[in-house]
Chains A and B, each alone.
Chain A
Amino acid sequence: MSASDSVIPVLLLILVAVGVLSLVLALRHRLAFRVGMRNVRRSRSRTVLLILGLLVATTIISGSLIVGDTINELGLHYTLLGAGFNDEIVSNVTPIGSLAPFPYAVYSQVLSSASGDHAIAGIAPEIVSTVEVFDRSSGVPQPNLNFIGVNGNQSQQLGSFVTDGGQSLAGPAPGEVLLDDLAASELNASAGDSLQLYGANSTPVTAVVQAVVQDNVRGAFPTGGIGNFGSVFTDLATSQKVENLPGQINVLSVTNAGSQQGGVGLSDSVSANLNATLAKIPAASGLKVQETLKNGLATAQTSGSGISTLFLVLGLFSIVAGAMLIIGIFVLLAEERKGEMGMLRAIGLRRRELVYSYYFEGLAYSAGSALAGSVVGVGVGYGLTYAFSILFPAPGLSSRAILDSFTVLPQTLLIAYVIGFLLTLVTVVVASRRASRLNIVRAIRDIPEPPPAIRVYTYLAYLGLTLTALGTLLFLSTYRGSTDISEPLIGGAMMILGAALVASRFVTNRIAFSAAGAGFVVWAGFEPLHTALLGSYHTGGIFIVFVEGIIMVGGALFLFAFNSSSLVGGLLRLANGRSGRAPVARVALSYPGRRPTRTTITLAIFALVVFTLVAIATFGGTIQANLDHTVAEQSGGFTFFGFSNEPIPDLPGQIAGNASLASQFSVVVPLYFGGANLNVSGFSANPFGDAVFAGPTGLNASSSFYTTNRFPFSTTLGGISAGLAMHELETNGSVAIVDQSYAVATTNLGGGGGTSAPHPSVAVGDSIRVANPVTGNSTTVRVIGILLESTVTGVWLNPATAFGLGFHEEKAFFLTTAAGVSGTHAAQLAKAAFFRSGLVLYNFQAILAQSIAGTEGAIGLLQIFVGLGLAVGIAAMGIVAVRAVVERRREIGMIRANGFTRRMVLRAFFLEYTFVSLLGIGIGTALGLLIVYNLSTSPSAAAAGVSTFSIPWLNLLLILLVAYGLAMAAVAEPSLRAARLPPAEAVRPTE
């Protein structure tokens, strides 16, 4: 049962409870019910407008959840495609990641024991490895192809191979080869080509391509991704010959009974039975059962849930903006109906009845808007999926497959509906209580409410004291306990707000809340304060952006709300200097300046949405700007990193002696490379496997790792320089250096490090025990530095130490191309020259550019999603403008009588909404830039290798123009209507 399934009964229960309560209230307060329903019915256009305004929150929730469902479905699709009918794999994975061979007889014994197990549909013996292939027909070599040896008659339960022509094949014919589409493409091969397969056997095996087959759901064979060049299939006997493993296999592929997905439910019992069987077979020592499909599906579920959470957290800004819009709508409704409400109260309607009438009206709007929002969310979800399919076309991930994965689950719609409904209803109820608190006479005569009495401030002071106490408690209990600073930040904000409430009892609201506003902005936006109070290693993930954003935007709004008159006064003084513009400016700016509640709500909506958009865009720009820096940091100044299947002794010498290669590379660095078992004190999963590297000694300056690399460190023991650290590593046998994935998680900006790495975190000065599983030799080394790079992961040892442990095969390399040389051409020449050794080269720039392109795509998608929040701003602006024309009818008539032309009225309206929207956009932009600046200049960011803050001006300009343009589009029609009002009609006392 998933989390969403378990929450449904609770939500349904709440929905039923609200329904029953509403029914009881409707029966007991029939008059209020009738008044509420009459209000809903009396203007269809207004009801539609209200529902449009209210549906935004539900739309965002619904859209986010649907994107999550779609990602889950996509993950499921690819997991099923990748695993095929292979539910479990039985193998012995060595510390360096290869598969240890075992006797074919183990297969026979396991098959015999499992014959009575109805949960197992079949078991296939296989050889799985990598080979180098040379296509003699096309003349193209390709190292590092996946190599699978399996007999068709033994793997029937995995399904058939399907040729590109659609023909089904049980398996490769003896002595022949099947190539998948990717491998065929890399080799430029087709059926009938003659191939040479280079495996562990010193003599290559020649075979003919029987057919090119589709990547399909047959078995757990890799289908794409970086470093994967496709798969080659032969029968078992041929594969044993290629790998020189007569009578041996290295994988048992197990298929469960039932359908592809249905069989997953049997995985636990199948693996338990298989483990019991393996335990009884001496030759099966070391073999383990991996529940491939089950684990893959669980991972897919987690990634879908993570993406859904990311969208929801970023959508929170729009949801808060939506809630502000609901409050704004009800503030306007209350103002519009003030006289009417006063009359109802005057003729005997009790205040409670008034609240209930609003409740019933709000209930109808909430139910309607949540329903509409859930449905609109489906469209939004599809739109996002479509954008995703365009932004993320990748090998093995087609646009069509992404679109086909679009999923709308009924339970998702139900969750979105109930949450959206309750969120809207709660906001409506709060706004209704506020609206119904009116003085009858003042309401009828349209006299403004007087300032609150002193006792109100006394109550607020008590509330402030409580808030301060709670905030202090929260801050003190969390600020030293965790690296997550969201809780202490909230605690601090509560303290500031509490202090302002207390202060408002003794000083003017303006002083108290302006100080609080400034305090909010500084508290959430001044990074050195966080470092001073909370330490360097603080983070908070994506949620911290929401917390800091809300606090800072709230602070800016406090500053505006309590200083709007001064701000407007200042602007008017500027306008007064320009004859002719003064009256337009006076009219335009006085309304927002002197109706701060309404203006602040609109500002809040714009500021929140623009804040998120600007923060995401700037985040993307900063990542892009750090590309060069990242490449330098991750590559250590080299162009390529390479591996070979077989050791290549003296690669620098071989390249120097090769006429075609010598001019291609300026630096060639060989490395000792091997897989080690490592132990770190206190780590629960000791020993764990990782790679070890060391640079051989006695090489010239252009081939020594220690002198040629320019890898920067995130930290070194005693703060020594990178050069000294490398010198120490070269000369001191008891020290080591590790990559960034060993660092303690420190970053807000992603990058390397931390808890998700499959090994422990270490600090400089810590010790690591290193053992070679092949030789059994071991030693303990002390970490003297942590590199910033995390592309080549592992532990870097002193050459003598590595040699002593038995790591002396030169199977890893760094290469730098000569000036003016094409990297692609140089790599092709090197791969061809050392094809037999299986040399594979990875271009740092290309890998990082691909990774960054993915990040940019994600940022684009998030911008589209968050941009939906602009709908809230447009709705708010449009509703306020429509209302303004009605409200100010006589005032418009009066200024027209006094000499305002139509154009001046139009200019006044546009200027008013320009002021509000630009102020909101300005607040959002400034704070969005500030938060990313803080993130990119914090110690955590520096540790993650981010050193440059960059503003993507073009992207920002586009965002600001779109936001402003949409706001003006929303107010255009009401403004034109205002300008066209005939003055004689407008000045009349009746509307």
Chain B
Amino acid sequence: MAEVVVAGKDVWKVFGSGDTEVAALRGVNIEIAREEMLAIMGPSGCGKTTFLNCFSGLDEATRGQILLEGRELHSMDDNAKSQYRARRTGFVFQSYNLLPVLSAVENVEMPLLIAGVKGREARERATKILGELGLAERVRHRPSELSGGEQQRVSLARALVGHPAIVWADEPTGNLDEEGSREVTRLLRELNRQYGQTIVVVTHDAAVASTCDRTLRMRDGKFES
């Protein structure tokens, strides 16, 4: 098997306590290989987004072990996790989460700046990737001046511009129409092949999952075997 980039052993995530305690993840075990494009599917509330949050370092698992590129996530403090996210991961969300006061190119170059890349180089790389995603003419537009599909492409560019090891995508096509959805899925696949990044896609959309190398189904906080 190829190098494992993401590994989880008996990962639990429990919200609340006492009578209100809810276990969103119930002893998840998983391994994701480098350059793999993995789809995670399941009904609403099954724990897909919680999985993504805990394994990407956005949230803290209650117990269990998560390894990202061999580093144990639990041992990292908040600053270390932030640094890791800045340098090694990218995110795509259903609602794009672009900064409305920044232009497309400024949004895309933000992760580079956070990672310490110089302004001029960051601008060049952001412009280049936007061009590759067909947004060369829209680099100076603000999110409110872009369509939903265009915004999601900017979001994709932002996730991929720093060549992260892992890209986490949470319902990336959830807000898009069929054509937009196809376009984004195609781009994800292409970029995965082009840059060799590991992409984990949480989705309801079977069409998206069908383009991935592997699909895992989740139910009640666990992956179905």
Q: Point out residues on A near B: beta carbons under 8 Å.
A: 447-448, 576-577, 579-580, 582-583, 586-587, 590-591, 593-595, 890-891, 893-904, 982-984, 987-989
Contacts and interface: CB of A to CB of B under 8 A. Distances in A.
Given A899-B114, A899-B115, 4 more contacts: A586-B102, A898-B111, A900-B82, A983-B59
A897 B91 contact: yes
23 contacts: A448-B144, A580-B116, A582-B113, A582-B119, A583-B110, A586-B110, A587-B99, A587-B110, A590-B102, A590-B106, A890-B97, A891-B97, A896-B58, A896-B82, A897-B56, A897-B85, A898-B91, A898-B110, A899-B111, A983-B58, A984-B58, A987-B93, A987-B97
Contacts of A896: 58, 82
Given A579-B116, A898-B91, A987-B93, A447 B111 contact: no
Given A591-B101, A984-B58, A901 B79 contact: yes
| Interface hub of A577, A894, A897, A982 (most chain B Cβ within 10 A) | A897
B119 A898 contact: no
A900 B113 CA distance: 10
- Chain A interface main SS type: helix
Contacts, number: 91
Interface of B: 49, 53-54, 56, 58-59, 78-79, 82-83, 85-87, 91, 93-95, 97-102, 106, 110-111, 113-116, 118-119, 142, 144, 158, 170
Contacts of B119: 576-577, 582
B116 to A, nearest CB: 6
A99 B106 CA distance: 87
A903 B82 CA distance: 11
A984 B59 contact: yes
Contacts of A983: 58-59
Nearest to A888: B99
Nearest to A989: B95
B114 A590 contact: no
With a 10 A CB-CB cut-off, give which of B79, B99, B170 has the most chain A CB atoms: B99
A553 to B, nearest CB: 25
Contacts of A448: 144
A577 B118 CA distance: 8
Contact of A984 (B53, B97, B98): B53
Nearest to B80: A901
Contacts of B99: 587, 590, 891, 894-895
A897 B142 CA distance: 21
Nearest to A576: B119
B74 to A, nearest CB: 15
Nearest to B87: A899
B94 A989 contact: yes
A895 B101 contact: no
A892 to B, nearest CB: 10
Contacts of A984: 53-54, 58-59
Contacts of B82: 896, 899-901, 904
Contact of B83 (A582, A595, A891, A899): A899
Of A593, A896, A901, chain B has the most CB atoms within 10 Å of the CB of A901
A917 B215 CA distance: 52
Given A894-B97, A899-B82, A902-B78, A586 B113 contact: yes
B102 A447 contact: no
A520 B224 CA distance: 71
Contacts of A900: 82, 114
Contacts of A898: 85-86, 91, 110-111, 114, 158
Contacts of B79: 901, 903
Nearest to A595: B101
A582 B49 CA distance: 31
A550 B66 CA distance: 61
A577, A583, A899 interface centre (most CB from chain B within 10 Å): A899
Contacts of B115: 899
A988 B87 CA distance: 22
